[in-house]
Amino acid sequence: MIPVSLGTLVFLCLGGMLAGIFGAWIVSESRRRRRERLAFRDLLRCTMCGCEFEDHTAEPIARCPRCGTLNERNRASRL
């Protein structure tokens, strides 16, 4: 058995709990960002009229359903 003082034991327990909370927060945040990225993947905003529309095709350019302007997919912005 390894002799450990009470202060060291408390420090190790608190450190372990904080590490667990921090790890859970990191995992939760990465999952939230992944869900958000998937939710906004097909959402585009027209650069001319500001209309927001969904385009589920894989083409890099999508046509706005309101004004017909061609919009680049990589210019999509978050709401």
Binding site for Zn ion (CB under 5 A): 46, 48-49, 51, 64, 66-67, 69
Residue 13 C-beta-side C-alpha neighbours within 13 Å: 7
d(CA 65, CA 8): 65
Q: How far is the CB of 50 from Zn ion (least distance, A)?
A: 7
> Residue 51 or residue 76: which is nearer to Zn ion going by CB?
51
> Residue 10 or residue 49: which is nearer to Zn ion going by CB?
49
Beta bridge partners, 60, equal none
> Residue 66 or residue 75: which is nearer to Zn ion going by CB?
66
Alpha helices in the chain (DSSP H): 6-40
